[in-house]
Chains A and B, each alone.
Chain A
């Protein structure tokens, strides 16, 4: 077995506590695992950003789009290693690289206990989808064992990273609703950065009578 991230061979650890148990196939090596950083206990109650109290981004959002997002939960911090991982997986399109994190993602999902929520997929622009060949949000939803719900489409596909932070916060809603729901939902994506994507989706859902909108991302 080789590490799904760095390709180096993984030597299974056998010790006195596990030598009788069946070997669990690991998809991540020790070195890579140590680079992953769990979110600290002290974080924004709304978006999970590390730090004390409600973060600045959330405070601003609560002025422009108040009360749309109930809570965001994430698995790891978006550190330098995570950035490299996302670049490999999403931008270079190494589809299976995410499997290195599968056990951690599932574990967090099970602890959160959100199986009753409708898992909502974030749509890609058609050119993006063609370039990448897959949708990252769909992949994560499948990973936690749920069916993706397609409630949105993109109005115009522009690259987020090309615009500055402020402009991003204030930009118009890039989504439109294609299907209405009246049950609690959880939007699933790879990263929560400024919250633009998720909050715009959440505002449309709430406007159309959705009672509760949460989100789940791998990185924050």
Chain B
């Protein structure tokens, strides 16, 4: 029903000025802001509006059968509500979907900042001295060509551990040499925090900004922005190059408002790059229809194949898990694993189970910690595991992506659970064998009965390895 209306009412960005005026206000460039987010007085704003550096626009569109929030693109009726608004004295509609970023009310306009500023031109900004593998180089060349033309879309399908960040360097260099503005958007805050210093190191002279929910920098006044996908809610036709990392990951996958925001954040003429290790149906379909150009990188940067998961049927698994325990033979397997050098990464389907199994293993005498999405000490616990301060990390699907450890075995407990879909299992398997020093690593899926998701994951990994061999 909803998609029917959306198809009838395509995303319309005609409300964003087509010929933005040039100006020197870098902090307003390409922004879409509420009045209180603008760092200028009301009097200054009036001048900026007269000069068309700021453009006032309606915040919530009223259509015949639906409303649309112009900041987040929400059209779902239950995500709009009314408020007896004391300030204007009327009953006002507001958007509940993006209220986390400040309330959008129908009686208050949004302001669009003209994106027409001259960003600096950097000469040879990249100081990274590594070399790309032939697979990486091909992808890098394709992206550089895309950035040069500054229009179109391209998908990089790279296995976990292919070194996709380095693949972007030549294209980013090209963009910075020509005064273009870049945004790298990724679903998770952890990844923004990890990427920004890495990119800053590779591009030391370039002004970068990291934006996420509670980032110290709120402004993002830089030619190179690294942000969570949600931060795109505050941009309108701002970027010449938009890179969307992990297109297949929650929340970008499944949230139509983020797609709306991404489309709006890119300029009308922009290069849009998608990165994934595990494309979803939508992307695969576009690949088959050849409507989305793609470059595969089927090989890891160290040249070794991906570890193929081994399925382990464990009929008594649920009974043990319900008692907060692990079956005897799994415990024996862990004991054997623990005699090796490698650390162990255990995935469980829920926070509760992860905590229970962590305390069970602790009672059994192991050095173990658990970490999950709502854990305030997440970053420290991950870092101390990386420093090898303890041996077993029990976690949920939050660690399936982005986070890497040099030398681990990976066991998934109750791999048939719905949270472990094909993409999750491929990503989880990709945690093993990440370093050139220890390129292998054992991946085991403990289950009470094979699922299609497990079989598809194994098949996808084998296929990638086969493609990798051909190179």
Binding site for B on A (CB under 8 A): 2, 7, 88, 92-96, 129-130, 133-135
Query: In the complex, what distance in Å separates the CA atom of A94 from the CA atom of B93?
Result: 11
The residue of chain B having its C-beta at the shortest distance from the C-beta of A88 within the complex is: B99
A130 to B108, CA, bound (A): 13
Segment from B84-92, B266-274, B436-444 that makes contact with A: B84-92
- Known: A93-B99, A94-B99. Is A133-B79 also a contact (CB below 8 A)? no
Residues of A within 8 Å of B87, CB to CB, are 130, 133
A133/B86 in contact, CB under 8 A: yes
Contact at B85–A134, with CB atoms within 8 Å? yes
Select B79's contact among A7, A88, A93, beta carbons within 8 Å: A7
CB distance from A123 to the nearest CB of B (A): 12
Q: Is the CB of A96 within 8 A of B81?
A: yes
Q: Does B103 contact A135, Cβ atoms closer than 8 Å?
A: no
CA separation between A14 and B82, bound complex, in Å?
31
* A129 CB to nearest chain B CB (Å): 6
Q: Are A96 and B96 in contact (CB under 8 A)?
A: yes
Say whether B29 faces chain A, with CB atoms less than 8 Å apart: no
Contact of A134 among B79, B86, B102 (CB under 8 A): B86
Q: Mark B70-102, 1 if CB is under 8 A from A, else 0.
A: 000000001101111111000010101001101
Which A residues are in CB contact (< 8 Å) with B81?
Answer: 94-96
The residues of B that contact A92 with a CB separation of less than 8 Å are 99-100, 102-103
Q: B96 near A93 (CB under 8 angstroms)?
A: no
Nearest CB of A to B98, in Å? 10
Cβ-based interface call for B158 (8 A): no
Residues of B within 8 A of A129 (CB): 86
Taking a contact as CB atoms under 8 Å apart, the answer to whether B83 and A134 are in contact is yes
B84 lies within 8 A of A134 (CB): yes
A129 vs B88: C-alpha distance when bound (angstroms): 12
**Contacting pair A7 B78 (CB below 8 A):** yes
- Write out, one digit per residue, whether chain B residues 337-350 have a CB within 8 A of any chain A CB (1) or not (0): 00000000000000
A93/B103 in contact, CB under 8 A:
yes
**Structural contact, B105 and A133, CB atoms closer than 8 A:** yes
Among candidates B85, B96, B99, B102, residue contacting A133 with C-beta atoms closer than 8 Å = B85
Which residue numbers of B lie inside 8 Å of A, CB to CB? 78-79, 81-87, 92, 94, 96, 99-100, 102-103, 105
* Shortest distance from the beta carbon of B99 to any chain A beta carbon, whole Å: 5
> Can you report 30 A-B residue pairs in the complex whose CB atoms are below 8 A from each other?
A2-B78, A7-B78, A88-B99, A92-B99, A92-B100, A92-B102, A93-B83, A93-B94, A94-B81, A94-B94, A94-B96, A94-B99, A94-B103, A95-B81, A95-B82, A95-B83, A95-B94, A96-B81, A96-B82, A129-B86, A130-B87, A133-B83, A133-B85, A133-B87, A133-B103, A134-B83, A134-B84, A134-B85, A134-B86, A135-B86
Do the beta carbons of B86 and A130 come within 8 Å of each other? yes
Residues of B close to A88: CB separation below 8 A: 99
With both beta carbons as reference points, the residue of chain A lying nearest to B36 in the complex is identified as: A131
How far is B100's CA from A96's CA once the two chains are assembled, in angstroms?
A: 14
CA distance A63 to B104 in the complex (A): 46
Q: Which residue of B lies closest to A99 (CB)?
A: B81
Give A134 to B82 CA distance when docked, in angstroms.
11
> Given the complex of chains A and B, what is the CA–CA distance between A135 and B84 in angstroms?
10
New contact pairs (13) apart from A7-B78, A130-B87, CB-CB < 8 Å: A7-B96, A88-B99, A92-B100, A92-B102, A92-B103, A93-B94, A94-B81, A96-B81, A133-B85, A133-B87, A133-B105, A134-B83, A135-B86
Give CA–CA (A93, B92) in the complex, Å. 12
Min CB–CB distance B87 → chain A (angstroms): 6
B97 nearest in chain A by CB position = A7
Determine the distance from Cα of A96 to Cα of B85 in the docked complex, in whole angstroms: 12
Closest to B103 in A: A93
* CB closest residue in chain B, given A139: B84
How distant is A56 from chain B, measured CB to nearest CB, in Å?
28
CB A100 to nearest CB in B, in angstroms, measures 12
CB distance from A192 to the nearest CB of B (A): 24
Least CB distance from B234 to A in Å reads 16
Q: With the chains together, A133 CA to B107 CA distance in Å?
A: 12
A122 → chain B closest CB, angstroms: 15
In the bound complex, CA of A10 to CA of B263 (Å): 31
Closest to B77 in A: A2
Cα(A129)–Cα(B86), bound, Å: 7
Closest 4 A-B residue pairs measured CB to CB?
A95-B83, A96-B81, A93-B103, A133-B85
Residues of B within 8 A of A7 (CB): 78-79, 96
**Nearest chain B CB to A40's CB is how many angstroms away?**
24
Of A94, A134, A135, most buried by chain B (CB within 10 Å of CB) is A94
* Shortest Cβ gap from A80 to chain B (Å): 10
State in angstroms the CA–CA spacing of A2 and B94 once bound together: 17
Report which residue of B92, B102, B103, B105 has the largest number of chain A beta carbons within 10 angstroms of its beta carbon: B103
Distance in Å: Cβ of B466 to nearest Cβ of chain A: 40
A96 to B78, CA, bound (A): 11
CB distance from A121 to the nearest CB of B (A): 13
Task: Report the Cα distance A135→B102, complex, angstroms.
Answer: 18
Question: Once bound together, how far apart are the Cα atoms of A95 and B82, in whole Å?
Answer: 8
Which residues of chain B are near A134, meaning CB under 8 Å? 83-86
Q: What's the nearest-Cβ distance from chain B to residue A5, in Å? A: 10
Which residues on the A side are within 8 Å of B84 (C-beta)? 95, 134
Q: How far is the CA of A94 from the CA of B78 in the complex (A)?
A: 13
Query: In the complex, what residues of A have CB within 8 A of residue B82's CB?
Result: 95-96
CA distance A134 to B96 in the complex (A): 16
A135, B85: Cα distance in complex, Å? 10
B1 smallest CB distance to A (angstroms): 14
Residues of B within 8 A of A94 (CB): 81, 94, 96, 99, 103
Contacts of B102 in A (CB 8 A): 92
Contacts of B96 in A (CB 8 A): 7, 94, 96
Query: In the bound complex, what is the Cα–Cα distance between A165 and B396 (angstroms)?
Result: 39
Query: A92 vs B96: C-alpha distance in the bound complex, in angstroms?
Result: 10
Q: How far, in whole Å, are A129 and B102 apart by their CA atoms in the complex? A: 16
A81 to chain B, nearest CB (A): 11
From B79, B83, B105, name the one whose CB has the most chain A CB atoms within 10 angstroms.
Answer: B83
